[in-house]
Structure 1
């Protein structure tokens, strides 16, 4: 019980701070870049309710703390749940969990029926940024959390094969379905 509390109290703050930075800073920078490249979209309300091309302190704080807190807590909880399923060398664990998260999040964010990805060009940059931000977010949560927990001799307590491999298979199917959905939406938008 003490170990689980220590792991949780390590991962959750890392997720929160990383969420604030990735959504609040990187997300805002991505939006600013896309707004500069698409001046005709200025004033249009985005799918998330923000006015494109307008940057206010209140809007940035809302993005940083509301969305960043949500993403940070969600990623911390999911990381805690997925951690026992991660297998293989460190680079593979980091790559699979972060790229998986990036593709799944992007498949939910990128859609052809909103204004964000129909107005913003180049499309490859808009989509790429919204795959990159959650990928980097989860990579930092994973790398920093594992570094802070590196003194734990039982840090990689994997689930038994009879339980772990079916769960990993389900996650692989989720990744493939999310990737297919993302590619299909980008094809419709392109």
Structure 2
């Protein structure tokens, strides 16, 4: 069954939005991609309204099954973090109004899913997005390609073929190198989250 995911790379000046259809065998097809822009000279409330209206329009046009958003993470630039957080809130609100499930993925998770390397640079991510979607080149600006990468990351994570087999086995042999690396990163993250017994 095809899974349609709408991915969002939240930003106040440029908000990337991409929609992909992903098959159970993990092949992906580009449906739509755009960047919603607002000028810094516009009042904050109007910028958030413009971004929200743009996201809602795309949700209603393409009817995704799930929304994937890049998770806000710490940066030195507080102004940038605030803008990203505010747009993320607008996107979450738009999805909730439509009773759509939402997934949040960190940049490292997305990079690992797409390239197999959690510290990949933007050019590597863009190149792999183009390759995965069968495009001659990655959509520009980078925010557009990032939104598609977020959508693909979520679809691959939720793919039934990527789930562990009953009895504890797995089907890693059927995964791409990027997906194997993503699964390894996910396992490592879960293992590090398990509380360890204190020793005296």
Structure with the larger helix share? 1
Q: TM-score range by the shorter chain?
A: 0.3 to 0.5
**TM-score normalised according to structure 2 size:** 0.31
Which of structures 1 and 2 has the larger relative contact order (alpha carbons within 8 angstroms, sep 6+)? 1
**TM-score normalised according to structure 1 size:** 0.32
Structure with the larger strand share? 2
